[in-house]
Amino acid sequence: MIKKIALITGGYSGEAVISYKSATTIEKNIDTEKWECYKIDINPKGWFYMAAEGPQVEVDKNDFSITLNGTKIKFDAVLVGLHGTPGEDGKLQGYFDCLNIPYTSCDAATSALTFNKRYTVAVASFAGMHVAKSLHLFKNIPVSPAEILNQLQLPLFVKPNNGGSSLGISKVKEAGELQQALDKAFNEDDQVLVEEFISGREFTIGVFKSKGKIIALPITEIISKNEFFDFQAKYEGASEEITPAKVDETIAEKVRSEARKAYAVFNCNGIVRMDFIYQEKDGFPYLLEINTVPGQSEASLVPQQVAAMGMSLKEFYSLLIEECF
């Protein structure tokens, strides 16, 4: 019997626009012989089933079901394609756990932890991984630029601590630029991460689990035309993305090994994308962040990596759904 899958998209943050692009790609590549897919838009106005034709149907939040033509439809699993809150920070995962509905992403605890960039690097460091030196700032506890510069060396990256899509990030080269960068980041989030710049090659890698085995996808090297891999570089073509990366196999294996280690340390599930800087002077990959609901739009990195592995997205999404059972 074909299982019913809810593909969740949308969200309550500025990343919703990317969620809808991801959902379009996923929906086009679902194996309809195996899965019956229902796209569910979760947004500030409500939760709705988005039928190809006809009116929106509201989701019953008591059991995460919909009613079509008098028939109640309950879902066998949830395919998570929702970036930002509440699909990437653990809120919906906790809800689905309460309803005993399996899903294709990390659990509530891992999602909440990795959504917080500072807590991610703290746990990674505790596990013996290399990370940049950083400070965690809170909006309600003001810290002056001078205090920051007493503890960290320029250049610095200033970024919202929660969220993704490279919104609100600045690279600070001079002390006079720091306050403006803090204001920009605090405009996106109540918590901000300030970290020392690590020079090196930027690699990003998708990792997933299938039949209990942790599998690393081919590595992508990011060569940004901007100062760093910001929103414009990520989504508007201001970067060169080389998949698979042209990199010595010994370096590639170091990155893959660290990515698989992080996947295990953080108890990840589903497809996760990790960003690293490989610092050539000491020969170590430094973990920047873990993205537990990576983009699946046509411009996104994971679909590029799946193709480089010689796998179709249809096969890939089926593996993710099968694993969540």
Residue in this structure with the two tokens 């990515």, named with its chain if needed: 259
Q: Where are the domains of the chain?
A: 3-105, 112-130+199-292, 134-196
Look up residue 206 and give its two tokens: 């998708």
Residue 226: pLDDT band (50, 70, 90) is low
CATH class of 112-130+199-292: alpha beta
The answer to whether residues 233 and 224 touch, using CB atoms and an 8 Å cutoff, is: yes
Q: Is the pLDDT of residue 232 over 50?
A: no
Of the given ranges (160-174, 200-214, 249-263), which has the lowest mean pLDDT? 160-174
- Pair of tokens at residue 73: 């439809």
Region 291-303 average pLDDT: 91
Cβ neighbours around 52 below 10 Å, total: 6
- Return the pLDDT at 235: 46
Other CB atoms within a 10 A radius of the CB of residue 46 amount to: 11
Task: Report the C-alpha gap between 259 and 4 in whole angstroms.
Answer: 32
DSSP codes of every residue in 149-215: HHHSPSSEEEEESB--TTTT-EEE-SGGGHHHHHHHHHTT-SEEEEEE---SEEEEEEEEEETTEEE
> Quick one: which of 98, 294, 78, 286 has its CA closest to 207?
294
For the stretch 4-44, pLDDT in tens is 999 999 999 888 999 999 999 999 999 999 999 999 999 99
Which CATH number does the domain 3-105 belong to among 3.40.50.2020, 3.40.50.20, 3.40.50.300, 3.40.50.2300? 3.40.50.20
- Where residue 162 falls among pLDDT bands split at 50, 70, 90? confident
Cβ neighbors of 29 (< 8 A, separation 6 or more) are 312, 313, 314, 316, 317
pLDDT at residue 125, as a whole number: 96
On the question of pLDDT at 307 being above 70, the answer is yes
pLDDT tens-digit map of 271-287:
999 999 999 889 999 99
pLDDT at 241: 92
Per the CB < 8 A criterion, the answer to whether 195 and 132 are in contact is yes
Mean pLDDT, all residues of the chain? 91
Q: For position 325, what pLDDT does the model report?
A: 92
Mean pLDDT (whole number) for 43-52: 92
Please state the rounded mean pLDDT for residues 40-55.
Answer: 90
Residue in this structure with the two tokens 């689990």, named with its chain if needed? 209
Of residues 325 and 239, more confidence is placed in: 325
pTM as predicted = 0.88
The DSSP output letter for 11 is -
pLDDT over threshold 80, residue 159: yes
pLDDT at 108 over 60: yes
Domain 134-196 sits in CATH 3.30.1490.20: yes
pLDDT of residue 237: 54
Q: Between the CA atoms of 56, 40, 300 and 29, what dihedral angle is there, to the nearest 10 degrees?
A: -90
For residue 313, CA distances in Å to 152, 186, 303, 308, 317 come to: 43, 37, 7, 11, 6
Residue 83: pLDDT over 60: yes
In angstroms, the CA 41 to CA 16 distance is: 10
Angle between helices 313-324 and 16-28 (to 10 degrees): 100
Of the chain, the percentage scoring pLDDT greater than 70 comes to 95
* Pairwise CA distance, residues 183 & 304, whole Å: 35
